[in-house]
């Protein structure tokens, strides 16, 4: 059997935007590793896409567990020897919406940063050798417009009063990390960008029995997929929604 032309790994991919990102990348002919904390759920999600004829396989990966990350890296190294696309999609939002920014618990801050920031950095650093082994690798960090400091200072912005601080600040940190990493990777064949998926109807935006949001999940995955598939003339170190560069 011929080796896949491109291999991608998407974290937090058992549902929502991550699952749809896997679907869309696989539909473009990319062999996608669907990563999830729960191996059984990852297997079920991957099987659903494989049943549609898409090149998808499950992989166990908990972004907050160093041993799990190391095992996933070794699995990819042993089977493929490289990674062409890494989409850091895993994330959580656990702020208490009834509390002010200064009232959020330290447990909320630490748990949020463990997944959204430290987990993302740990996964990226662990896979960097395999990304460097690719002739043309891409890293996509899923952030949010809620990470934009300028928009939070803009009274005309629709996010001006949308203060869920641990989540928001974690995404600001993801943006800053992307800039730092892009500087390190300048001149290499690895490009890294951060994206806003849009205000998508997902479980993360669920309040009670209602799913809030303006976009379908398929639309929410589109920016990740676009940046994952950019050619060698594409950007690095940017912050995007679709083709639009966003304010930091």
Q: Active site includes 167?
A: yes
User: Of 53, 69, 157, which is closest to residue 120 (Cα–Cα)?
Assistant: 69
Q: Judging by DSSP bridges, how do beta strands 206-207 and 85-88 pair with one another?
A: unpaired
Q: How far is CA 85 from CA 5, 44, 114, 118, 132, in A?
A: 11, 22, 23, 19, 11
Catalytic choice (80, 160, 167, 241): 167
Q: Contact at 8 Å (CB) between 76 and 137?
A: no
The residues with which 245 forms a beta bridge, in sequence order, are 240
Q: How far is CA 124 from CA 62, 66, 163, 181, 225, in A?
A: 13, 12, 28, 10, 18
The residues annotated as belonging to the active site are 167
């Amino acid at each position: 059997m011929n080796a896949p032309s491109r291999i991608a790994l998407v974290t937090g991919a058992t549902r929502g935007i991550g699952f749809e990102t896997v679907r869309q990348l696989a539909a473009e002919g990319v062999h996608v590793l669907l990563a999830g904390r729960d191996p059984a759920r990852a297997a079920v999600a991957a099987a659903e896409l494989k049943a549609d004829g898409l090149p998808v396989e499950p992989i166990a990966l908990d972004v907050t567990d160093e041993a799990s990350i190391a095992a996933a890296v070794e699995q990819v190294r042993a089977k493929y020897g490289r990674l062409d696309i890494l989409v850091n999609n895993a994330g959580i939002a656990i702020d208490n919406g009834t509390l002010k920014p200064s009232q959020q618990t330290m447990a909320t801050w630490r748990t949020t940063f463990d997944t959204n920031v430290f987990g993302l950095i740990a996964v990226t650093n662990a896979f960097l050798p395999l990304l460097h082994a690719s002739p043309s690798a891409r890293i996509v960090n899923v952030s949010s417009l809620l990470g934009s400091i300028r928009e939070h200072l803009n009274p005309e912005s629709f996010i001006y009063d949308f203060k869920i601080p641990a989540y928001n600040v974690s995404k600001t940190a993801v943006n800053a990390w992307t800039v730092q990493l892009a500087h390190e990777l300048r001149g290499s064949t690895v490009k890294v960008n951060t994206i806003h998926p849009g205000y998508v109807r997902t479980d993360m935006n669920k309040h009670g029995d209602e799913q809030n949001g303006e976009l379908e999940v398929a639309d929410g995955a589109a920016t990740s997929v676009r940046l994952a598939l950019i050619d060698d003339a594409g950007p690095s170190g940017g912050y995007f929604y679709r083709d639009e560069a966003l304010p930091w």
